[in-house]
Structure 1
């Protein structure tokens, strides 16, 4: 077991919540401090308030990983007499790194929206509002015939050649490869200064864009040549993986809107919810989106949802969609607090697999700014 540095921790975190999933302009990533230090304790928080920083200090945390970016807009000044300034002052004085994962964690498989859908017991859920479709590359590598199977298997094990429900998909064509080693070469085949002609196989595989570097490393490690000839092309067609905001799925059994509203309260640990619609309406298909979902009500309606569960619904939006018969349950933005325990649990498991000696804890501070009286 080893204590990793910040870069190793974030690399592990981004193995399931990569930065490229975030919306353009979302200020994710390192916000205060450094990743060039050992990290043994991480506090997971929804919001970064002074109380949360005090909690991190008391618990000896080296890092706070937050869902909502603390620095969302450019700062004009850092005033230590202001709450925001005091947060930065305490983070720096106590050497606590602050890292934010916002819309990338919303979109990610196993991220915030999956956690919300699972908490509601939704079955067979899919993406509500797609934001990312995986790009594809084609890798063509030239291999001596005797090494073809070894290289082909290495490519498959690294994730290349997966099409739908099929793995190890590839195409090959035989040909002649020619080369002349110079005096500094150490050739697998051939001798210095002599032109060689070798029976080779061109192996082609499709590679998901996020796996390109991993696949190329695997190919180079398996290939017998000192210098490997290969081509990498960008494809116009896209992969099967579609990710995005929100989820839509089915309840195990139909219930009324009133009954489902009570289920939402229990699932998300909230005392009250705002409901628009007929409380006797039958609910089976559910759309859910963490955070602010006001602009996605029409999307949920288009997807055939009987109810849309999301936060921060505007008054006029509720008026308009109530007239159209669209049911809405607003449990508030703070239900995204589900990510605290969810991320802590997931990262604890990943760290154990990676051999990292770390402690992950969920903040117990309630950062919901609203009280119901």
Structure 2
């Protein structure tokens, strides 16, 4: 499959327009290859992991964490230089789905809430909000049903209608309008005069983390055991007051301890995340559980690989399991 035809599937499942302003999602290193039949998915673009993917024969490597946040010069050796060298020598493409994946509603970043069966869920922090736009234009002849159906079935279109006076009205997502406009122009053989206005609703949100209610309250020990089972963490730390029972749960993959105040305001008994710092642990208003940066995001990428495998025909998708960089010493 041509790599230029694979990249749109990455962008469909992790829309780049949803990324945070500080982030660097998308192509990290462009491909010299035109085609590949193997896509590797992993959490971290370390030299060791990238070499494993390339040794397998991957022509496309999709990671969660970006290779860089800001462009770097190749003026010294190191992890960054080694990855660039390996990927460019292989002619492969390196792609990052970072906050573009973290914020996708219902995506694999929200696997913990799904496995816990949380209900009445909402984002802990909204990153972007958008409302549809209304586009109207006039055509002299009635739009044929077949043409209207083609327009209506385009991703991002909510409705298509035409009045008796010939005015066509399209409700669509603003992010999809450019492609939709091109399709309309192609169908009509000309570009009509479009009148566009923003609507006040319905609002579509993307964001980080989630808070929701368990199907039934759980005793703390039972909840802790369930969390250990789901994350694979036999040992994890927590701070703040230990609740007797857990009813409402907040979580955020990666480094989400800064959301503890919003979790508390949302009525959460506990926030599950990673990378908790000392002062955050001291000052937390609710129970703050640190299962590590690795566990939640490693499972997210495993599920993302399975999702991508279902989208790509004729291409083998393989998840490469990572290694938690933190190790524990237990005194014997």
1:67 counterpart (46, 64, 76): 64
Aligned length in residues = 328
Q: What is aligned with 2:321?
A: 364
Q: What is aligned with 1:172?
A: 163
The alpha-carbon deviation at position 310 of structure 1 amounts to: 0.9
Q: What is aligned with 2:193?
A: 230
The alpha-carbon deviation at position 274 of structure 1 amounts to: 1.1
- Alignment gaps of 5+ in structure 2: none
CA offset digits 1:202-224 (Å, max 9, x no partner) = 1223211122134334434554x
Q: What is aligned with 2:288?
A: 328
Q: Where does 1:231-250 land on structure 2 (aligned, <5 Å)?
A: 231-235=194-198, 237-250=200-213
Q: Where does 1:2-13 land on structure 2 (aligned, <5 Å)?
A: 3-5=1-3, 7-13=4-10
RMSD: 2.4
The alpha-carbon deviation at position 303 of structure 1 amounts to: 1.3
The alpha-carbon deviation at position 79 of structure 1 amounts to: 2.8
The alpha-carbon deviation at position 285 of structure 1 amounts to: 1.2
1:142 counterpart (131, 134, 138): 138
SS in 2 for 1:147: coil
Could you say if the C-alpha distance between residues 218 and 74 of structure 1 is closer, same or farther in structure 2, counting changes exceeding 3 Å? closer
Which stretch of structure 1 is more off in the superposition, 280-289 or 106-115?
A: 106-115
Q: What is aligned with 1:14?
A: 11
Q: What is aligned with 2:233?
A: 270
Could you say if the C-alpha distance between residues 310 and 350 of structure 1 is closer, same or farther in structure 2, counting changes exceeding 3 Å? same
Q: What is aligned with 2:302?
A: 341
Question: Which structure has the bigger radius of gyration?
Answer: 1
Structure 1 CA distance for aligned equivalents of residues 146 and 139 of structure 2? 10
The alpha-carbon deviation at position 152 of structure 1 amounts to: 4.4
1:64–1:96 contact (8 Å) kept in structure 2: yes
SS in 2 for 1:249: strand
- Alignment gaps of 5+ in structure 1: 163-167, 175-200
CA offset digits 1:99-135 (Å, max 9, x no partner) = 1111111001343422232233323422221111124
The alpha-carbon deviation at position 233 of structure 1 amounts to: 1.2
Structure 2 CA distance for aligned equivalents of residues 21 and 160 of structure 1? 15
CA offset digits 1:170-208 (Å, max 9, x no partner) = 47362xxxxxxxxxxxxxxxxxxxxxxxxxx11223211
| 1:95 is aligned to 2:95 | no
1:154–1:222 contact (8 Å) kept in structure 2: no
Could you say if the C-alpha distance between residues 264 and 203 of structure 1 is closer, same or farther in structure 2, counting changes exceeding 3 Å? same
1:51–1:365 contact (8 Å) kept in structure 2: no
Q: What is aligned with 2:312?
A: 351
Structure 1 CA distance for aligned equivalents of residues 142 and 197 of structure 2? 29
2:251–2:273 contact (8 Å) kept in structure 1: yes
Q: What is aligned with 1:86?
A: 82
2:168 counterpart (194, 203, 220): 203
The alpha-carbon deviation at position 10 of structure 1 amounts to: 1.3
1:170–1:206 contact (8 Å) kept in structure 2: no
